Homo-oligomer: A and B are copies of this chain.
Amino acid sequence: MAMVCLSDFEDYAKKYLPKIAWDYFAAGADDCTTRDENILAYKRIRFRPRMLRDVSVMDIRTEILGSEISFPVGIAPTGFHQLAWPDGEKSTARAARAMNTCYIASTYSTCTLEEISAAAPGGVRWFQLYIHRNRAASQQLVQRAEALGFQGLVLTADLPYTGKRRDDVRNGFRLPPHMKVKNLERAFEVCKMSPPDHSLLWHVPHERKTTGLDPSVTWNDIYWLQSLTRLPIIIKGILTREDAELAVKHGVQGIIVSNHGGRQLDEGPATIDALVEVVEAVRGRVEVYVDGGIRKGSDVLKALALGAKCVFIGRPALWGLAYKGEEGLQDVLRILQDEFRLSMALAGCASVSEIGQHLVQFSRL
């Protein structure tokens, strides 16, 4: 079977992953409306391609927070990569570095930050944080990440409680016994406190047992994070102009427009629709990124045309891992890169700086 486009990797993963793992990665909250809308919303955007421009020399590089990456597609934070490939996040880190792009490692990694760093020294890497009720554990994680050379701290804002993903409940999803949420284990160990039961992490109704995450986090905790680290702070999960304004006001360096892949509040906006609102509110004061629903190079072009500095892929990265680990993820990134370059050329842009809102319009449909 030829791997021609990202849905080929999706088909492969659906066929070869254990059902419980596939379901976990594929899950959306409730009716999965928002998960699917993330993709459908891209279809409602039409290009206005320009002709007869010199596109013989294409430059698709960009910079995020000062780091050059080979093209504006990074790896979004997702948990439990060992469910997709034995080497887990180590493979992810290697693939991202090989393709010279940014990888955001999740708090819920099945490898430690140290293992991730060692696997691919020198890569562009950010660390994604959930704030725990046990603040000492979170502080420990932030400071470890900074010490290991991670270049950004991504605070996830949309998970005070875990969304209701019906298939995970039906499956009684839990990590297999040989996998661990290693970062948290060490963090709690260092703090000499007992951690929550991570094996149960995702399938418990939010009130009966606890994930250990702190649902009382507010904007003031941005100041607390700033007091812990000199890393730039990127806030992930913003969907409205009001929150974008608050993010800027609280001094973050970047915003990731995200609805957690449609896994948290169902029936919120598609991220590409929310991007427009956020970009308008931010007025260039901080960098804005987007994740959710990216399946083709032309989706990347649309996101950039609407003001994103870079996009991040979640599930497609996991499909790539499931296919062939590091090599499979490189395949996914390479296909996106080729498609993005071709889309740019066919739209009449030879470099990322030529991409602008004039390239797109919203369809009446």
Q: Which residues of A contact B (CB under 8 A)?
A: 2, 4-5, 30-31, 33, 43, 45-56, 157-158, 160-161, 163-164, 166, 169-170, 205-207, 214-219, 221-222, 235, 237-240, 242-243, 246, 264-269, 296, 298, 302, 338-339, 341-343, 345-347, 361
Contact of A49 among B52, B158, B222 (CB under 8 A): B158
Q: Chain B residue with minimal CB distance to A242? A: B50
Contact B267 A47 (CB under 8 A): yes
Closest 3 CB pairs of A and B: A56-B216, A265-B346, A51-B157
Bound: A242/B347 CA distance, A: 13
Interface of A is mostly: loop
Bound: A347/B296 CA distance, A: 30
Interface centre among A4, A31, A160 (most CB of B within 10 A): A160
Contact B215 A296 (CB under 8 A): no
Bound: A170/B238 CA distance, A: 40
Q: A56-B214, A161-B345 are in contact. Are A268 and B30 (CB under 8 A)?
A: no
CB distance from A252 to the nearest CB of B (A): 11
Contact of A51 among B43, B158, B338, B341 (CB under 8 A): B158
CB-defined A-B contacts under 8 Å, sample of 10: A2-B169, A4-B169, A47-B267, A49-B158, A50-B242, A55-B160, A55-B161, A163-B346, A265-B346, A267-B298
CB distance from A243 to the nearest CB of B (A): 5
Q: Chain B residue with minimal CB distance to A241? A: B48
Contact A52 B265 (CB under 8 A): no
**Set of chain B residues within 8 Å of A266, measured between Cβ atoms:** 296, 298
CB distance from A295 to the nearest CB of B (A): 9
**Set of chain B residues within 8 Å of A302, measured between Cβ atoms:** 267
Q: A43-B267, A298-B30 are in contact. Are A240 and B346 (CB under 8 A)?
A: no
Contact B347 A265 (CB under 8 A): yes
Bound: A56/B238 CA distance, A: 19
Contact A160 B346 (CB under 8 A): yes
Q: Chain B residue with minimal CB distance to A219? A: B52
Contact B205 A338 (CB under 8 A): yes
Contact of A269 among B46, B52, B265, B267 (CB under 8 A): B46
CB distance from A174 to the nearest CB of B (A): 15
Contact of A296 among B31, B46, B163 (CB under 8 A): B31
**Set of chain B residues within 8 Å of A343, measured between Cβ atoms:** 265
